[in-house]
Structure 1
């Protein structure tokens, strides 16, 4: 009796488990079938087309720069120059010192600086006046007739050194006479012990005017005059006997040249670029030749300076450039006229330059202190050169391309 009851109970449990398993299996099979069906439907459907690509950040930046290339180039130059100036100023924390020339034992002047440049140039006169204030005896190399300009300074320590011509014999005679002046004993005052003068530096300052225009529009006479005054005259002076005087006094040779236009080398500025490249090569070669002899050669590259003169407007510059165009031959005028006047913005000073004190300090340090072979002075002197080196040539040509300025 008990065994029958147990058998019935087991049979009931078994039938219950069997029905439960069948139900679970049916639910699982339905879920698997639905999942497989949905996956088949998803695989059968084609993916939607991708959305059209939008302008990237680089494309938008390129369009902005293309629309305002001159403004962007000016901003990049200013930011780069400011950053480099801050880094340079932070790394050169030199103590303040008075920039004055050394004196003789009796307090008189005994250091001499020779300026090889025309006294009719404002820069030559400004440099001479500043060096005189700092305690140097300044000699200005000049031609007959220009000594009157030196006499107008009315200063006994700014003196002319007249050279009749720039041929080899005349330069040699002037160099010997200058050596005799330096070798002769001088007394600062009556009763003082005589002392000899010492040549501190020879500073070569060519005039800052360069002819502007297409190469075809500049006559051979203009090219000859430009190369003679900017390159050949300083070279003849040094090789004609003044190098012996410099070597005897262990003095320094300093080349002063503008560097902004020659760094960018834009169109219609071939004369300035050519002269600057020649002087740069001359300074480097001469430095390597004279370094074993203890004679430093320093290239002082000038940027923009605020001289206090009234700024010339771009409209006046365009007016002057149009007058130049009218003097060209008809074919040259047709080929270059509009592009030439469109480059007027390169000759317009849109920002104020550095103070002249920056130039005077840089020149004094080049004469007296240990400085690099190349010294930059003035706003834009280093920034524009670095900008021209870093920017690819095609991009730089695009930036410097003349604007639209129709002559009609």
Structure 2
């Protein structure tokens, strides 16, 4: 069977196969490609020359035209003030991807800081506890000198006992001891200190010193431990003094107030100073601050007693500082004690601004006992700092105008006003001005 391949070429009979004329076809293809390349090259040269010509004309026109007639370039688009959330997070992700090591360091730093802050806050709440021995026994004692029946003294004693202190409250009568026993607290104990007879007081202080210095055992078989005196807290009940005009106050009233408030506080501090020096303890003196700062009329006794105790606290602090010890003066404002009789009565009279919670005072007392460098003056309670500033820097005439004082006749001025409350509960509040 003979097969013919007709490709528009010459035919050869050898092996009955048709072979194309390849030489002629290739020659025709080469000529066409040459013509096409030549035409394209000429077009590119013409287009390039035309473009260069227009650029030259534009440059000449730009140089020829005056500057005022030149068209201004279009203003750039205003930058976006705020990135969209998607764009912002995309940039953050790209930056993190480019700075992997730095991102890991920042993340570790922030995470560690957050953990440290959390731990510090947790320990700050938990660390307001008295130190104990290895077997859990209480080792820190506090002497509290104030009226045992006063709500403020009782509240401070109960809080210190809850925080792990052994609280010794100075008592002078059997009624005071009975009041402490009614509290049913094993570590709130009476401390009988006879301030009238110095010889007896010296013997009582020696026994107390021996008690603190000797070894104690919490239970049979427990390891021995010693007690330490953390501090002495003086809480004179100042506002229970007589209220009245200076012309009507008798010398006996002044003598009673100065002996019962000022001299009593100074005497207790005198007997406690040897123990304070030996055990490196703190001395805390708490006094109401509002009346003593404003010095209103008919409160001469209270103002005098407060000023005297404040001057004593400043002198005591200066003396103890020479030995590396600390004495802190707490100036108290309006402090509310839950359940006090005076608070219930004042709540019925007015619905004014409430006072500061007594918890702030408890925390401040603990911090003053355990801080490495406590402040000499502490303002605790609403109005304490502002009234101290007013009494120190504002003229007395302006203070009288703020209090609403008016001039009265001579016969009315000699009249003694009736005290609003003669109970000791007034030591924790201040009158509204």
Which bin holds the TM-score, normalised by the shorter protein? 0.5 to 0.7
Mapped partners of 1:180, 1:399: distance in 2: 55
Deviation at 1:386, TM superposition (A): 1.1
Deviation at 1:401, TM superposition (A): 4.2
Mapped partners of 2:348, 2:307: distance in 1: 28
Unaligned runs of 5+ in 1: 1-93, 316-347
Aligned equivalent of 2:323:
293
Tell me, yes or no, if the aligned pair for 1:201 and 1:253 is still in contact at 8 Å: yes
Unaligned runs of 5+ in 2: 1-119, 416-433
**Residue 378 and residue 237 in structure 1: after superposition, are their counterparts in 2 closer, same or farther (change >3 A)?**
same
Aligned equivalent of 1:120:
149
Tell me, yes or no, if the aligned pair for 1:113 and 1:137 is still in contact at 8 Å: yes
Mapped partners of 2:299, 2:170: distance in 1: 28
Mapped partners of 1:297, 1:205: distance in 2: 14
Aligned equivalent of 1:97:
125
Mapped partners of 1:138, 1:312: distance in 2: 30
Deviation at 1:404, TM superposition (A): 9.2
> CA offsets, 1:184-216, max 9 Å, x none?
211122211111100000000112413211112
Aligned equivalent of 1:106:
135
Mapped partners of 1:163, 1:198: distance in 2: 19
> Which of the numbers 397, 400, 405 marks the counterpart of 2:403?
400
My pick for the range that moved more, 114-123 or 388-397, is 388-397
Asked if residue 379 in structure 1 is aligned to residue 409 in structure 2, the reply is no
> CA offsets, 1:164-200, max 9 Å, x none?
3433223222211211111121112221111110000
Tell me, yes or no, if the aligned pair for 1:166 and 1:236 is still in contact at 8 Å: no
Q: Secondary structure at the match of 1:257?
A: strand
Q: Secondary structure at the match of 1:217?
A: coil
My pick for the range that moved more, 372-381 or 202-211, is 202-211
> Which of the numbers 310, 319, 322 marks the counterpart of 2:344?
310
TM-score (norm 1): 0.65
Asked if residue 137 in structure 1 is aligned to residue 166 in structure 2, the reply is yes
**Residue 399 and residue 153 in structure 1: after superposition, are their counterparts in 2 closer, same or farther (change >3 A)?**
same
Aligned equivalent of 1:89:
none
Segments of 4+ moved more than 4 angstroms: 403-407
RMSD value, Cα: 2.2
Mapped partners of 1:242, 1:404: distance in 2: 47
Deviation at 1:153, TM superposition (A): 1.4
Q: Name which one, 1 or 2, has greater alpha-carbon Rg.
A: 2
Report the number of matched residues.
281
